[in-house]
């Protein structure tokens, strides 16, 4: 199936992994990158315009694109990046056969619950997906990095720039 089939938010979320066998682990493994103990003056948020589901491999692709651009332009100690949603919703697929005389091998819609094929995160409208902390000289670089990361995600997004006035660790 195409990834676009899992984009819409339909029905109740299916999250109980203890009842499903063979749920693949989320592809995204690191949710924080950069310098978590640095003190930064600006926070940039990639905010979803409408509600949608984001597959775990799309979150990983956005993380890699954003982090790689920030790392190349600013270095590892001049930013802090965090991916906010966790993909805990199980996606299922009822695989069908397409070949000659396939009707003899499959049951169609009988027992069509489906097998787990991946996980996804649900985001609502105006919910932040990626958060980046930088100083004033890195704001334009972070905007471009978030734009590149948003191109990997299945929704429309906007970038919000905020000035935060606290010093200290960002790790929570």
The confidence score (pLDDT) of residue 138 equals 94
CATH number, residue 84: 3.90.1170.10
- Residue 44, C-beta contacts closer than 8 angstroms, at least 6 positions apart: 131, 132, 133, 134, 139, 142, 143, 146, 159, 160, 161, 162
Q: What is the largest CA-CA distance in the chain?
A: 68
The tens digit of pLDDT for each residue in 86-105 reads 999 999 888 776 766 656 66
- Residue 16, C-beta contacts closer than 8 angstroms, at least 6 positions apart: 90
Count of the separate structural domains present in the chain: 1
Residue 15 has pLDDT above 80, yes or no: yes
Residue 117 has pLDDT above 70, yes or no: yes
Confirm whether 64 is domain-assigned.
yes
Confirm whether 96 is domain-assigned.
no
CA 172 vs CA 7, 8, 36, 37: distances in Å: 30, 31, 9, 11
Confirm whether 105 is domain-assigned.
no
Give yes or no for a contact between 118 and 55, defined as CB atoms under 8 angstroms apart.
Answer: yes
Residues forming beta bridges with residue 160, ordered by sequence position = 45
Least confident range from 6-10, 97-101, 139-143: namely 97-101
Mean pLDDT of 113-128: 92
Range of the domain at 63: 3-10+22-91+115-163
DSSP structure string for 62-100: HHHHHHHHHHHHH-TTS-EEEE-----EEEEE-----ST
The tens digit of pLDDT for each residue in 41-77 reads 999 999 999 999 999 999 999 999 999 999 999 998 9
Pairing of the two strands 115-123 and 128-134:
unpaired
Confirm whether 110 is domain-assigned.
no
The confidence score (pLDDT) of residue 4 equals 75
Confirm whether 106 is domain-assigned.
no
Confirm whether 97 is domain-assigned.
no
CA 91 and chain centroid, separation: 14
Confirm whether 135 is domain-assigned.
yes
Confirm whether 136 is domain-assigned.
yes
């Amino acid at each position: 199936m195409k990834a676009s089939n899992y984009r819409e938010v339909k029905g109740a979320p299916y999250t109980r992994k203890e009842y499903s066998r063979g749920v693949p682990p989320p592809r995204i493994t690191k949710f924080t990158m950069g310098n978590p103990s640095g003190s930064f003056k600006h926070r940039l948020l990639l905010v979803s315009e409408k509600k949608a589901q984001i597959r775990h491999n799309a979150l990983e692709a956005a993380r890699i694109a954003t982090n790689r651009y920030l790392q190349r332009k600013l270095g590892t100690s001049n930013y802090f990046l965090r991916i906010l949603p966790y993909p805990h919703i199980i996606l299922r697929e009822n695989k069908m056969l397409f070949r000659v005389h396939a009707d003899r091998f499959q049951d169609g819609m009988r027992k069509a619950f489906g097998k787990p094929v991946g996980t996804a995160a649900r985001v609502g409208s105006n919910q932040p997906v990626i958060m980046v902390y930088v100083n004033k000289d890195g704001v334009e670089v972070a905007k471009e990095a978030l734009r590149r990361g948003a191109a990997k995600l299945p929704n429309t997004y906007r970038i919000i720039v905020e000035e935060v006035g606290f010093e200290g660790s960002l790790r929570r």
